[in-house]
Amino acid sequence: DVKVTQSSRYLVKRTGEKVFLECVQDMDHENMFWYRQDPGLGLRLIYFSYDVKMKEKGDIPEGYSVSREKKERFSLILESASTNQTSMYLCASSLAQVNQPQHFGDGTRLSIL
């Protein structure tokens, strides 16, 4: 069965810290995505990657960076965490072919104090 695993369900960090969110998929998918989900704003795409070492900015990349050194792993990095980055973060993956659905992890609820 399809599996996308996010390293933490809940995370609390302090303002200014560098924060790493990890995502691993076991489906050999080419595409991987990071979203944040906020009440009233739906899902907003932060970054995505369509191949190892490749990345593209989504709709709200400011304050974030990503790393994809291996096909199965996609990391989201908050360079200097701020309180407005408190949110639910969702990772997803999909095959490269046209019209393929995305498969999601259970999310990481991140609080920045």
CB of 38 or CB of 79, closer to other proteins: 38
Interface pattern 18-57 for other proteins (x via CB under 8 A)? -------------x-x------xxxx-x--x-x-------
Q: Does 104 bind other proteins (CB under 8 A)?
A: yes
Q: Which is nearer to other proteins, 26 or 106 (CB)?
A: 106
Of the residues 3, 57, 65, 106, which one makes contact with other proteins according to CB under 8 A? 106
Q: Does 103 bind other proteins (CB under 8 A)?
A: yes
Q: For other proteins, which is the closer residue by CB, 31 or 85?
A: 31
Among 45, 41, 11, 10, CA closest to 31: 45
